[in-house]
Structure 1
Amino acid sequence: MQTIEVVIESPRATQAKFKFDPKSKLFKLSRLLPLGMVFPYDFGFIPGTVGEDGDPLDALVLSEFGSFTGAHLTCRVIGALKAVQGKEGKKGVRNDRYFCIPAGSITYSTIENIDQLGKEHHKQIEEFFINYNKVDGKIFSCLGTADAEKAIKMIKKGSR
C-alpha cells in the first residue's frame, strides 16, 4: 500500500484557517471562518506537489483524532474530490481535494476507496467547501470524484 506525507495546516473542528508560508517556514493565520463554521477534518497539503493554483495539492485527512497545525502525517490516499475554484466572472482553476486516512487509523482502517464513505458524506464535504469558498468570494464547483488509484496518479502528476 502506497503512502504519502500530509502536513496539517488547519486541524479539524477549528475555525482558524492557517497557511504555511514557505519563505518564513511558519504557519500563519490566513483567516477565520464564520461563526459556527469549522473544518470537518484535518486540512493540509501534500509536500513536494503543486496544483494549477500554484499551491501544494490540498488534502483532507479523515481520522478519529484531531491533530495540530504543523503535524506531518503518513497517510494512504482513498480518492479525490475533483473541483474547479475561482473568483466569480473569471476562469477557475482545478483545485482538487485529496482524501486521506492516517496510517494506524483504527476507525477508518477498512476504508480503501472514497465511494465507501457514502453519498451523504460526499455531499456534506462538498457543501463545506462550497460554503468555505463562498465566504471568501470564490466559487467552488465539484466535478465528481476520483477513486484511490486515479487520485494517486493525479498526485504524481502534481509532484515537483
Structure 2
Amino acid sequence: MNLDRVSCGDVPNQINVIIEIPAHSDPVKYELDKETGAMFVDRFMSTAMYYPCNYGYIPHTLSADGDPADVLVLTPHPLIPGSVIKCRPVGVLKMKDESGDDAKILAVPIDKLCKTYRGVESFRDLPGEILNRISHFFEHYKDLDEGKWVRVDGWYGLDEAKKEIMDSVQMYREAPEKPNF
C-alpha cells in the first residue's frame, strides 16, 4: 500500500481522508509513522471509551502540532484503517491539549459515496447528540493519562474548517523536509 501517493484532494471543498481508526472500534490509538509511512499502534487508551466516528487525516498536510490535519468522518459504517475516503468538510472542533492547539475537522462522505449526509452542509445540520458524543469523547479520552489533558473550545463552521485545511496544506508545502504522510 503506497499511501504517500494519495493527494489531499480538491481542497478545501473535497478532501481525501486516510482512515487510522474505525468508528466504534476498541480503545486503541493508531497513528501513521512519519518515517516509514506505516500504521503503528500509538497507544492503548487508558479510558474505556471508543471513537465515536472514523478518525483519520488529510495526506500532504501539516498542522501546528507537527502531524497531518486530523479529520473526523461520519459514516453509516466503520471504515478499515488505511482506507481512503473522499469527503467534504462541514465544520471543525477546536481544542487545546498539553501540546497546544488541536483541531479536528468534521467531514462527511461526498454524495456519490453516501446519500445519507447530502443535506448536511454544516455541523449545525447534524443532530446535537452526535456533536455532544464527539465533544464528550475528546474532553475525556485522556482523563486517565498522567500529564495529559484536553479542553474543548467548541464547534466552528465551514469557513473555519476550510481555513484549517488550507493552512495545513500551506504548512506542508512550506516545510523544508516533507514528512512521509
Report if TM-score (shorter chain) is over 0.5: yes
1:139 Cα offset (Å): 1.4
Does the residue aligned with 2:115 lie in a helix, a strand or coil? coil
2:107 alignment partner, one of 96, 100, 107: 100
- Structure 2's unaligned 5+ residue stretches are 1-11, 173-181
Partners of 2:84 and 2:120 in 1: CA distance: 21
How does 1:11-160 map onto structure 2 within 5 Å?
11-15=22-26, 16-34=28-46, 36-86=48-98, 92-103=99-110, 104-137=113-146, 138-159=148-169, 160=172
The 1:35–1:84 alpha-carbon spacing in structure 2 relative to 1, beyond 3 Å, is closer
Aligned residue number for residue 89 of structure 1: none
Does the residue aligned with 2:116 lie in a helix, a strand or coil? coil
Partners of 1:154 and 1:13 in 2: CA distance: 26
1:61 Cα offset (Å): 0.3
Task: For 2:86, give the aligned amino acid.
Answer: T
- Structure 1's unaligned 5+ residue stretches are 87-91
Aligned residue number for residue 21 of structure 2: 10
Partners of 2:48 and 2:149 in 1: CA distance: 20
- Report the identity percentage: 28
- Between 42-51 and 26-35, report the one with greater CA deviation: 26-35
Task: For 1:95, give the aligned amino acid.
Answer: D
1:143 Cα offset (Å): 1.4
Query: Conserved in 1, the CA contact under 8 Å of 2:15 and 2:88?
Result: yes
Does the residue aligned with 1:107 lie in a helix, a strand or coil? helix
Query: Conserved in 2, the CA contact under 8 Å of 1:85 and 1:94?
Result: yes
1:121 Cα offset (Å): 2.6
Partners of 2:114 and 2:42 in 1: CA distance: 29
Partners of 1:5 and 1:98 in 2: CA distance: 12
Task: For 1:102, give the aligned amino acid.
Answer: P
1:151 Cα offset (Å): 0.8
Task: For 1:93, give the aligned amino acid.
Answer: G
Task: For 2:116, give the aligned amino acid.
Answer: T
